[in-house]
Amino acid sequence: MNANSEQKKNHVHSLHELAMDLHWSWSHATDKIWKQLDGTLWELTHNPLVVLQTVSHERIKQVLEDPIVCEIIDELMEVKRQRTVAPAWFQNFHPNSSLTDVAYFSMEYMLSEALPIYSGGLGNVSGDLLKTGSDLGVPFTGIGLLYQQGYPRQMIYKDGSQQYVSPFNDPGQLPITPLRTASGEWLRIEIPLPGYSLWLRTWKVQVGRVLLYLLDSNDAANFPNHRGITNELYGSDPELRLLQEIILGIGGWRLLKALRINPQVVHLNEGHTAFAIVERIKTFMQENEQPFSAALNVVRSGNIFTTHTAVGAGFDRFSPGLIEKYLGSYIAEHLKISLRDFMALGRKNANDETENFNTAFLAIRGSEYINGVSKLHAKVSQQLFANLFPGWPIEEVPVGYVTNGVHMPSWDSPEADKLWTEACGKERWLGSAESMEKNISAVEDERLWRLRNLRSEAFIEDIREHYSRQLAITGGNQQQINEAGKLFDPSVLTLGFARRFVPYKRPNLLLHDKQRLKNILSSSVGPVQLVVAGKAHPNDFQCRAMIAEWIQFINDYDLKSRVVFLSDYDMLLTEQMVQGVDVWINTPRRPWEACGTSGMKVLVNGGLNFSELDGWWDEGYLPELGWTFGDRKEVTDDVVHDREDAERLYDVLENEIVPLFYKRNEKNIPVEWIERMRKSMSQLSFRFSSIRSLQQYVEKYYLPAASLYEKRSANRGQEGRKIDDWKNFAINQWKGIHYGNPVLKTINNQYQIAVPVFLNGMHNDEVSVELYANEMNGMTSVKQKMHMLKNDCGESNAVYYSATVPADRPANYYTPRVMPLSEIISIPLEFNNILWEH
């Protein structure tokens, strides 16, 4: 073989290697190559592997005849090699960290249309975090499931009826590689179930410098019905859902062990992943000869649980019978505890034999850190989990937060990417928020307006193409298809509204007053066009009816030139919409939107947000950055609240948004609109990027968790036994702790309160005594440490504690409380006893 032939062969191998690394999904450096091979196929699939497998060898050979293409391939391969070894943010800012691996468990990942294993927002967060882990050099390993059928695809007919189908995911056309042992055998994971074994196939996905491992049950050795366990994302049957979560958690941890990956930190993305905790405990018990309780004390120190749910009904629950059927033997043989004790980990009331097993409760009791996905959501979660911490004030329920962010390079348009590069450089997302704000603030009006005009033109073409294809598929006639090719005007204000159709997102709030909405769309100030998209669950006929109502509105009010409902809302359509709309509308019922991420994606593209004050927008909103129709008031009547919100929504559209967009200077530029764009882009883009959120996870949770796990797991986990001994002692002594009569004095507008406490054998440095007062009349709650006056009060053995507090509220609002105090455990997460004086 001559040198030229060998070089071409190497370039073919390089193309395959580039196609199998999902870094292309956000760098876009290889897009031109796939377009050159087959532009039509690339636009339809956005899957480089499909392009390579479909085009002829002759076509590949022709493209590789171009020396410029070969030069690009060589450069990309060199960049790829450098990326794997070059230090990134984590290595530069935490060079001496002992953190070697974070295992991230999630039921879904939104990485690319080429790998359709996601449903919505949860997968969006997971996928964006993996990509960001690659950018920042965080030692990340993802664990998930490979679904044989992708997320449901949607077709909408002219009468509003819908059809949902789930195409088969052909592994041979997905950017995944079977995992093989050193001997070449396919690495398979075994999970013994009652009477048989479940075999799991394993796969690897390259996401830049991060690896994602996937498991699926479609192994030939399994019974036919078990091969379909991983067919669909979020099986609706509880038994199927339980098996999926066992595969993800238990199977996922076993896969890590088979690969000799030993993460100090496990990040559990929602309660679906909680069974990873029990397998991690089992492994620690076996390797260190420790009992379950001691192993739990050690293992939990390295676990982080992120909850995305804002309503209690959203957590997975399984009946005692199902848990016993599939995990009874596992619990008895490997965990060596009773089924009752295991069920207690997932119950509010350990003594209630009828209570179902809640995986979110297991995740809480098996994790050292718990976080919501926005500041508001943390408060909601504290209320949801308050019953696990009886006696503790809501604000002290141990739930923190890291507000979600999105991977901006995945969602910015080519035009936006060019502007950001000109203003802030190629490495902008790895720099500082301050420099980005300064640089974007300096971009001139004409440049920002050109960005929106270019993107609007491209978006209108996307809409026309999508809707034409939609009509062709659902039986539209040729005239309708031709008219779709002329739909919309890029110079008109374009509103975007897209989401999963569920009641709490209020997807039909805009339709509250249909005539008024029509008037807005046909405004005398300036016309408005609205792009709507979204899916309902195939079996949720109430939400399917909501979609049908939109279609009926468009038809009945003759708004086909002003409103379009685009079918099959997926990652590609999301990308087009967030890049192209002028204003993104979000209408959740506060506070049920845990975070929401779609509106974050418009920031980098110069779009503006108009949303209820919920999730991330409750943190990001300022009047100069966007708009809201919310008021943060407590909701007592949903019907009244919806009516009021709809009225405010219409008012803002009519009186603020539409007039501002069409208010132009002598150059036909909306100067005030552009100023909002500039401020929104400069102040919010980095703040709500996944760079910021992952950096927070690293510094707030990963590094402390790794350090604590290292400490507790030392000496074969002896710290775990020490914690057990302390808990047993504290539980026994706590029962006898009680108060004597408090003494109150008022001196110079201050209360001096003293109280005798009978500690029942506990030492004074094993408790903390405080005065506590609830919030009242706009005043914040008070927590004032009480100091010990003396150790001995004669034969009573009481210890007197005293504190002085302002007399700005009635004295009876202040209540002494005794809490455990320990240097070796987290209070109240690991020991939640608390004693109030009354």
Query: How far, in Å, CA of 227 to CA of 33, rounded?
Result: 37
Q: Is residue 94 part of a domain?
A: no
Rounded (10°) CA dihedral 636, 642, 648, 653 = 150
Closest CA to 604 of 673, 549, 677: 677
Tokens of 141: 């390993």
pLDDT category of residue 795 using cuts at 50, 70 and 90? very low
Tokens of 466: 């999508």
**Is the pLDDT assigned to residue 2 strictly greater than 80?**
no
Residues 464, 484: contact at Cβ < 8 Å? Answer: yes
160 phi/psi in degrees, rounded to 5: 95, -10
- Radius of gyration over every alpha carbon of the chain, rounded to an integer in angstroms: 29
What end-to-end distance do the CA atoms of the chain give, in Å? 90
The pLDDT value given to residue 778: 78
The pLDDT value given to residue 387: 96
Tens digits of residue pLDDT in 279-332: 999 999 999 999 999 999 999 999 999 999 999 888 999 999 999 999 999 999
Residues 397, 385: contact at Cβ < 8 Å? Answer: yes
Say which CATH number the domain at 739 has.
Answer: 2.60.40
Query: How far, in Å, CA of 242 to CA of 271, rounded?
Result: 12
Residues 202, 213: contact at Cβ < 8 Å? Answer: yes
Q: Is residue 334 part of a domain?
A: yes
Tens digits of residue pLDDT in 548-594: 999 999 999 999 999 999 999 999 999 999 999 999 999 999 999 99
The pLDDT value given to residue 516: 97
Q: Is residue 723 part of a domain?
A: no
Cβ-based neighbour number of residue 480 at 10 Å: 15
Asked whether residue 516 falls in the same domain as residue 548, the answer is yes
63 phi/psi in degrees, rounded to 5: -65, -40
Q: Is residue 168 part of a domain?
A: no
Provide the domain limits for residue 279: 104-148+175-404+703-710
Phi-psi region of 801 (alpha: psi -120 to 50; beta: other; left: phi over 0): beta
Q: Is residue 98 part of a domain?
A: no
**Is the pLDDT assigned to residue 433 strictly greater than 80?**
no
**Is the pLDDT assigned to residue 643 strictly greater than 90?**
yes
357 phi/psi in degrees, rounded to 5: -90, 120
Asked whether residue 671 falls in the same domain as residue 782, the answer is no
Asked whether residue 13 falls in the same domain as residue 141, the answer is no
Asked whether residue 66 falls in the same domain as residue 123, the answer is no
The pLDDT value given to residue 7: 77
Tokens of 763: 């030492």
Query: How far, in Å, CA of 295 to CA of 293, rounded?
Result: 5
**Is the pLDDT assigned to residue 161 strictly greater than 90?**
yes
Asked whether residue 395 falls in the same domain as residue 454, the answer is no
CA dihedral sign, ordered 712, 717, 720, 721: negative
Query: How far, in Å, CA of 599 to CA of 596, rounded?
Result: 7
Query: How far, in Å, CA of 607 to CA of 624, rounded?
Result: 14
Query: How far, in Å, CA of 566 to CA of 462, rounded?
Result: 11
Asked whether residue 492 falls in the same domain as residue 587, the answer is yes
Asked whether residue 442 falls in the same domain as residue 470, the answer is yes
**Is the pLDDT assigned to residue 782 strictly greater than 50?**
yes
Query: How far, in Å, CA of 15 to CA of 29, rounded?
Result: 12
pLDDT category of residue 794 using cuts at 50, 70 and 90? very low
Q: Is residue 248 part of a domain?
A: yes
Considering 622, 655, 688, which residue would you say is the last residue of a domain?
688
Asked whether residue 56 falls in the same domain as residue 132, the answer is no
**Which range has the worst mean pLDDT, 203-212, 263-272, 533-542, 615-624?**
533-542
Tens digits of residue pLDDT in 649-688: 999 999 999 999 999 999 999 999 999 999 999 999 999 9
Total domains present in the chain: 4
491 phi/psi in degrees, rounded to 5: -90, -5
Answer whether the bond into residue 828 is a cis peptide, omega within 30°: yes
Say which CATH number the domain at 382 has.
Answer: 3.40.50.2000
Closest CA to 661 of 812, 449, 518: 449
Q: Is residue 322 part of a domain?
A: yes
Asked whether residue 369 falls in the same domain as residue 472, the answer is no
In 107-221, where does DSSP find H-type helix? 121-136
Predicted TM-score (pTM) of the model is 0.96
**Is the pLDDT assigned to residue 791 strictly greater than 60?**
no
Query: How far, in Å, CA of 419 to CA of 231, rounded?
Result: 42
Considering 38, 58, 85, which residue would you say is the last residue of a domain?
85
**Is the pLDDT assigned to residue 146 strictly greater than 90?**
yes
CA angle 271, 258, 205 (to 5 degrees): 70
237 phi/psi in degrees, rounded to 5: -80, 130
536 phi/psi in degrees, rounded to 5: -105, 160
Asked whether residue 135 falls in the same domain as residue 222, the answer is yes
Contacts with 359 (C-beta within 8 Å, 6 or more apart), sequence order: 245, 271, 272, 274, 275, 315, 316, 317, 318, 346
Residues across the chain = 838
**Which range has the worst mean pLDDT, 185-189, 533-537, 790-794?**
790-794
Interhelix angle 703-734/292-299, rounded to 10 degrees, is 140
Contacts with 452 (C-beta within 8 Å, 6 or more apart), sequence order: 582, 606, 677
Task: Specify the DSSP class assigned to residue 21.
Answer: B
Query: How far, in Å, CA of 732 to CA of 831, rounded?
Result: 13
**Is the pLDDT assigned to residue 47 strictly greater than 80?**
yes
Please give the mean pLDDT across all residues of the chain: 94
pLDDT category of residue 790 using cuts at 50, 70 and 90? low
Asked whether residue 225 falls in the same domain as residue 321, the answer is yes
Q: What percent of the chain has pLDDT over 70?
A: 98
**Is the pLDDT assigned to residue 432 strictly greater than 90?**
no
Contacts with 832 (C-beta within 8 Å, 6 or more apart), sequence order: 388, 389, 390, 391, 392
Tens digits of residue pLDDT in 445-498: 999 999 999 999 999 999 999 999 999 999 999 999 999 999 999 999 999 999
**Is the pLDDT assigned to residue 793 strictly greater than 70?**
no
Tokens of 747: 């001196």
Answer whether the bond into residue 527 is a cis peptide, omega within 30°: no
**Is 213 strand, coil or helix?**
strand
Query: How far, in Å, CA of 269 to CA of 105, rounded?
Result: 6
Contacts with 20 (C-beta within 8 Å, 6 or more apart), sequence order: 49, 175, 177, 206
The pLDDT value given to residue 192: 93
The pLDDT value given to residue 354: 94
Query: How far, in Å, CA of 382 to CA of 399, rounded?
Result: 6
Query: How far, in Å, CA of 754 to CA of 742, rounded?
Result: 6
Tens digits of residue pLDDT in 175-221: 999 999 999 999 999 999 988 999 999 999 999 999 999 999 999 99
Q: What percent of the chain has pLDDT over 90?
A: 88
- The one-letter amino acid code at 469 reads R
Q: Is residue 165 part of a domain?
A: no
Closest CA to 28 of 71, 63, 76, 89: 76
Asked whether residue 14 falls in the same domain as residue 113, the answer is no
**Is 771 strand, coil or helix?**
strand
Considering 710, 744, 769, which residue would you say is the last residue of a domain?
710
Task: Specify the DSSP class assigned to residue 279.
Answer: H
The pLDDT value given to residue 151: 78
**Is 829 strand, coil or helix?**
coil
